[in-house]
Amino acid sequence: MQAERPLIGISVGRIPLNDRFIDGTQRDYGDRIADAGGFPVQLLGRTDLPLSTILPHLDGIVLPGGGDIAPELYGAEPAAETGGVDIERDRAEITLFAEAQAAGLPILAVCRGIQLVNVARGGTLVQHLPAVTSEPHLIVERRRELVHTVHIDAESELATIIGADDLGVNSLHHQAVDRVGRGLRPVAWAEDGTIEGLEHRDRRIVAVQWHPEQLPDQSREMRLFAWLIEQAGRRLPPRDRAGGGSWFRWR
């Protein structure tokens, strides 16, 4: 019998395609989860779907990249450069984050994900980094390359996971964390001081601004997914998931 794989929920958004929408995100997230030993499951960003149906069956969560978060959710007026906003997804993910945290699930947040976590905890965002720094952060054409270095707090969970306090990363964002949310602390920074990593004090939430899923040849980056699966694996049966039995388990 094959070893049971932890189920990892990936929140997804609506992607416009011609005259319709597709629910999804980049395949890289699912591939990295599967490569690390997990089983990826997509979660639609809808506020009318009760998380109590699915959350008891999950072992971990990935909050992935995507469009900008609605500025009204952190008390700001939208800048001209803010775009790709889907406020229903924002609200659904904020609820998902809160309930997953309350359930003790490990959470890995990537790019938009770190921003979502910060907003969910009452923080704010820099809406357009070129307005406050001359260092480029949106380098789309080099998404699978290491384009700058982040410095990591040596005492952080992130440093323990990565095994270093400096790390080369890609850079695909024009927004970033501004005021840090409740219970979070910055643990990684770009050379210009832009926050590139956050953790919750219980060390069950690790959030990064870069895209490790797009750097599969970088072993240190892949340790983030290994961490998620290791943490999630500790939640596997034996147990009855809130009366759900074992109907939702793959072996």
111 is catalytic: yes
What secondary structure letter does DSSP report for 238? S
SS3 for 102-166 is: HCCCCEEEECHHHHHHHHHCCCCEECCHHHCCCCCCECHHHCCCCCEEEEECCCCHHHHHHCCCE
- Say if residues 4 and 251 touch (Cβ distance below 8 Å): yes
What SS3 state is found at 169?
A: strand
Active site residue 157: no
Task: Report pTM.
Answer: 0.92
More confident residue, 160 or 203: 160
Q: pLDDT tens across 179-221, in order?
A: 999 999 999 999 999 999 999 988 899 999 999 999 999 999 9
* Residues 20-77 pLDDT 10s: 887 878 899 999 999 999 999 999 988 998 999 999 999 999 999 999 999 999 999 9
Region of 56 (left: φ > 0; alpha: ψ -120 to 50; beta: rest) is alpha
Active site annotation includes 151: no
pLDDT at residue 118, rounded to an integer: 98
Q: Is 132 within 8 Å of 82 (Cβ atoms)? A: no
Cis amide bond preceding 136, omega within 30: no
Higher pLDDT, 201 or 178: 178
Residue 193, pLDDT score: 98
Exactly one of 148, 173, 174, 211 is catalytic; name it.
Answer: 211
Beta carbons of 203 and 12 less than 8 angstroms apart: no
Give the model's pLDDT for residue 21. 80
Confidence band for 245, pLDDT divided at 50, 70 and 90: very low
Tell me which of 1 and 247 has the higher pLDDT. Answer: 1
pLDDT at 26 (0 to 100): 86
Cα–Cα distance measured from residue 56 to residue 243, given in angstroms and rounded to the nearest whole number: 9
Any idea which of 96-100, 158-162, 247-251 has the lowest mean pLDDT? Answer: 247-251
Residue 247 predicted with pLDDT over 60: no
| List 111, 137, 173, 200, catalytic entry | 111
Choose, from 93, 157, 199, 213, the residue flagged as catalytic.
213
Hey, what domains does the chain have and what are their CATH numbers? 7-233 (3.40.50.880)
Asked if the model's pLDDT at residue 150 lies above 90, the reply is: yes
Encode burial over 120-140: b for 16+ CB neighbours within 10 A, e otherwise. Answer: bbebbbbbbbeeeeeeebeee
The predicted pLDDT at position 2 comes to 62
Q: What is the pLDDT of residues 83-134, one digit of tens each?
A: 999 999 999 999 999 999 999 999 999 999 999 999 999 999 999 999 999 9
Q: Are 85 and 68 in contact (CB under 8 A)?
A: yes
